[in-house]
Amino acid sequence: MRKAFYIPLGLFVILVIILSIGLTRDPRTIPSPLINKPAPEFTLPLLYRQAETFSPQQMRGKVWLLNVFASWCSGCRAEHHFLMQMARIPGVNLYGLNYKDVPLDGKKWLEQFGNPYKSVAKDINGRVGIDWGVYGVPETFVIDKQGIIRYKQIGPIDQKAINETLLPLIKKLQLQ
């Protein structure tokens, strides 16, 4: 038996260790540079009341959530049920950003599945999405009373995210 013949096995063991640690990570969670930074300003027309506009400026003094969604996004369909559930909780201010969507489709979507949002801003060409660093829909931002982004959820919200992350965070921020 020669020791050299064990080298490939040894290297493979190291490889397996790296891969198993890698499995516990999500390569898509790139930390957002916007965390703890002021939310980018914008003014967009609303989806329903065309004459009115929405801007983060109006939300000063409140803890609120911005959920980026689109009718063409299957992940949004998956989280929609949980958004409806969250919207019923007192103290949760959920606003929607209808991202790169045809306005009529966005409306149809909300009529069909229910509208969890206090208002919906429409970002037809996705310009605001770019400012906010949206790269996968759905995404949800938590913004505090000072207008600072505190948290960003990439991908669909589920029960676990609501109970373990979003609700505790919202409660904590409201006490500040």
Residue 9 binds to another protein (criterion: CB under 8 A): yes
> Binding residue for another protein (CB under 8 A) from 80, 100, 122, 152?
100
**Residue 27 or 90 with smaller CB distance to another protein:** 27
Q: Which DSSP letter does residue 41 get?
A: P
**Residue 103 or 147 with smaller CB distance to another protein:** 103
At closest approach, how far in Å is the CB of 174 from another protein?
32
Report the C-alpha gap between 119 and 97 in whole angstroms: 9
**Residue 56 or 129 with smaller CB distance to another protein:** 129
Residue 141 in contact with residue 23, Cβ under 8 Å?
Answer: no
**Residue 133 or 147 with smaller CB distance to another protein:** 133
How far from 63 is each of 10, 92, 125, 168, CA to CA, in Å?
53, 8, 27, 12
At closest approach, how far in Å is the CB of 119 from another protein?
24
Q: Is 66 helix (H, G, I), strand (E, B) or coil?
A: strand
At closest approach, how far in Å is the CB of 43 from another protein?
17
> Binding residue for another protein (CB under 8 A) from 44, 46, 72, 133?
72
Please, what's the b/e burial string for 42-70 (b: 16 or more CB within 10 A of its CB; e: otherwise)?
A: bebbbbeeeeeebebeebeeebbbbbbbb
Report the C-alpha gap between 19 and 22 in whole angstroms: 5
Residue 33 binds to another protein (criterion: CB under 8 A): no
**Residue 74 or 176 with smaller CB distance to another protein:** 74
